[in-house]
Amino acid sequence: MHTYEYRAIPAEVTARLRERDDAGQVREPFTDDEGGAPLRCCLTRSVRGDRLVLVSYAPLRRWAGEHGADPGAYDETGPVFLHARDCGGPRHDGFPAEVASSRRVFRGYDKRGHIVGGRLVAPAPGHAEEVAAAALDDLFADPAVEVVHVRAVEFGCFHAEVRRPA
């Protein structure tokens, strides 16, 4: 089993998304009256009273830009919640408990930014990290897989990016 690098949306990207999202829109912050929104800036859940913004985000676009790839139709844009102001990002290393607590889809992308594999991860209580690591080991065993995106099953929302150990 390997140790992987889990990445929230980087602070410089969240700052730009708060100004204008990947759909070209300016989104208005709001107060979360209930709490529990999945935050992609810090890989936690919101608490009641947090100021949030819901933006459109194209996660593969950033990776493709770094690697000179053209994901074509795989350049999806979808909704993500962010803190309305900089929160300092994740406060932990390793697989975030907030991501591990529910069923997830792990999607592998090749050097072109095209989907080459995926795994449904449905961890039993207390086994989320090992189940996720096994799915990642399986996906990254394919040398074509360059990056993995973790997504919600029910809504398809982006959760985190996972890269091979440096």
Strands 30-31 and 115-121: unpaired
pLDDT at 2 over 90: no
Can you give the residue ranges of every domain in the chain? 5-83, 97-163
- Could you write out the three-class secondary structure of 104-136? EEEEEECCCCCEEEEEEECCCCCCHHHHHHHHH
| Strand-by-strand arrangement of the 30-31 sheet | 30-31, 51-57, 78-83, 38-39, 44-45
Sign of dihedral through CA atoms 123, 128, 130, 131? positive
| Strand-by-strand arrangement of the 5-7 sheet | 5-7, 158-163, 147-152, 104-109, 115-121
pLDDT at 101 over 70: no
Over residues 33-67, the pLDDT tens digits come to 999 999 999 988 999 999 999 999 999 999 999 99
Q: Which residue has the higher pLDDT, 156 or 55?
A: 55
Distance CA 69, CA 67 (A): 5
Mean pLDDT lowest among 69-73, 92-96, 103-107, 119-123: 92-96
Distance CA 119, CA 165 (A): 19
CA distances from 80 to 22, 32, 119, 152 (A): 11, 14, 21, 11
């985190």: which residue's tokens?
160
Q: Which residue has the higher pLDDT, 95 or 32?
A: 32
Q: What pTM does this model have?
A: 0.89
Q: Do the beta carbons of residue 146 and residue 136 sit within 8 Å?
A: no
Counting Cα atoms < 13 Å in the Cβ hemisphere of 125 gives: 0
Predicted pLDDT at 1: 55
Q: Do the beta carbons of residue 17 and residue 4 sit within 8 Å?
A: no
* Phi, then psi, of 41 in degrees rounded to 5: -80, -30
Q: Do the beta carbons of residue 14 and residue 82 sit within 8 Å?
A: yes
Over residues 58-89, the pLDDT tens digits come to 999 999 999 999 999 999 999 999 999 999 99
